[in-house]
Amino acid sequence: GKHQCKKLRKELEEMERYLDWELCVVSPLTRTLQTALLTVGAVRHEGEPIKFLATEMCRERVTMCPADSRRNKSVLEEEFPEVDFSQVKDEFDMAWRDEKEDDAACKQRGIKFLQWLALRRESCITVVTHSGFLKRLFEQFGMGIASEDMEELHRRPANCEMRGLVLCAHRQFE
């Protein structure tokens, strides 16, 4: 994991002058918080550290796997003081349960996340999230485009992979 982060961080540092991120939105699971700080944390916005905001909306698909559960909010706040956890409402992980989140619920959460992103005041946002969540989100888009492009869009993201995405909602969700 750390080797993958180091590789991506180097790529980001080489592109730094082109990146104008105002915010990094991150899943509140430990592995994404670590990835965000080890990679995106290297990039500066006009010489200032980038702001980090955690939200449950982009967390991994809820499963019965302990790796997909979140640690207590107070523990995360202490371990990751650079991250704003104000969007994480509950101290304990209320989403983790004894049954999997079905595909439809995960996809619906993905759409709500995109709507939330579209309403943010920042215009250039990076997101550090999970492959399962992204796969279900991207499966909802790309119908009618070239098959090669659709296959690429629907491909499960690799570990520590960066993908560019332009969200153009014209603030239609307000």
Per-residue pLDDT, 86:
98
Estimate the crossing angle of helix 147-154 against helix 131-138, to 10 degrees: 150
pLDDT in tens, 40-63: 886 665 667 789 999 999 998 888
Cα distance between the two ends of the chain: 38
Whole-number CA gyration radius for the chain: 16
Q: Give me the amino acid identity at 2.
A: K
Spell out the domains of the chain, with CATH numbers in brackets: 20-154 (3.40.50.1240)
* Phi, psi (rounded to 5 degrees) for 108: -65, -40
Report the C-alpha gap between 119 and 111 in whole angstroms: 13
Mapped onto helix, strand or coil, the DSSP state of residue 140 is coil
Query: Across all residues in the chain, what is the average pLDDT?
Result: 82
Residue 10 has pLDDT above 90, yes or no: no
pLDDT in tens, 53-111: 999 999 988 887 877 889 999 999 999 999 999 999 999 988 767 788 888 999 999 99
DSSP per-residue codes, 37-90: HHHGGG-EETTEEPEEEE-GGGSPPP-S-GGGSPPPHHHHHHH-TTEE-TT---
